[in-house]
Amino acid sequence: MTDETTTEQDAAPEPLSEADRPLVEQYDAGLFDLDGVVYVGADAVPRAPEDLERARAAAMKVAFVTNNASRTPDAVVEHLRKVGVRAEVGDVVTSAQAAARLVAERVPVGSRVLVVGGEGLLVAIRERGLVPVRTAAEDPAAVVQGFHPEVGWRQLAEGAYAVRRNVPWIASNVDRTLPTDGGLAPGNGTLVEVIRMATGQTPVIAGKPAPPLFRETVERVGAERPLVIGDRLDTDIEGANAAGMPSMLVLTGVSKLADLLTAPENQRPTYLARDLAGLFASHPAPRAGDGSATCGEWTATLERQDAAGADGRKGQLVVRLSGSGDPLDGARALLAAVWTATEPARIDASEALALLRGQDAAMG
């Protein structure tokens, strides 16, 4: 079995593109990631509930998109309401639902499907007219796998028995880690790897950064001009680019400006914002060329210094940033200048980052 994430798609938008009017006026639907964008754990991101209401008032459809396959949409809605966000079940799209669609495209209605996961997957499989089972002895026509904290050796073994029969194998997502109160814990990707190593097979992926979850959301909400809003480069932004959809990275979650400096091309966002207020603003595009870039009143320039740099190498490239005005424009200039280099990771940007951090806490 092969990974079907490389299907024909629209080209990814240019990173740090220009928007001469607010994004809510250009896109008819916002595909919002949850943790790090709308809330962080048990608390809403500051002003996020109000900004989501503003987006709805501007006629933008609001969809909440999550890689978490363990929770049902009802459970997600309950959590959203607890943090002050208005939401209905139809607003939530999970990787379990996207995975169930991929299964339904491969087996007839009424087929038995072995579920390696929890309630979120069980509900999604039933919604597609399929019959969830728990053992390979029940002769399943497919295997679907998603994270649940109670998945253990027995479920993984049953999944491996079935996958070895070359039935379709769909994974909700392959996130290697999962944030918990105690820190980062193994995610579904590590559990998928157990079955992959035991069978030599590779699953079809439904969740971010693969396109199916975004396409499932677009179909469910009837979006024509969707915008993906996320806080992680390796899931939200990479997934949006893979699906050929524009994206806005917010700096309220996992990925920060320093991460963006070394982001590969497929993880660079269309727009950059501190938080969801970026939906109601225009976005200038930096002008870059020959080792320098400008945006607003800011200029970033690559220079080769004579003394040894931060890594001890003499002649290291350093990015110099100067200007005033909105620090976000400074960040755009900085990124555009660094991205002109063939090896962005080898550029010393510490001085420029410190300057921006001193002016805007979101740039941390």
Secondary structure (H, E, C), 10-64:
CCCCCCCCCECCCHHHCCCEEEECCECCCEECCEECCCHHHHHHHHHHCCCEEEE
At residue 73, what is the residue type? P
Residue 35 annotated to the active site: yes
User: Distance (Å, rounded) from C-alpha 243 to C-alpha 259?
Assistant: 22
Nearest Cα to Cα of residue 32 among 171, 220, 229: 229
Token representation of residue 323? 């200007």
Residue 33 annotated to the active site: yes
- Kindly report the number of other CB atoms within 10 A of residue 186's CB atom: 14
Catalytic residue among 33, 91, 234, 326: 33
User: How is residue 266 annotated by DSSP?
Assistant: G
Catalytic residue among 3, 10, 35, 231: 35
Token representation of residue 260? 């963006």
Q: How far is CA 133 from each of CA 117, 152, 166, rounded to the nearest angstrom?
A: 11, 16, 17
SS3 label, residue 214: helix
Catalytic residues: 33, 35
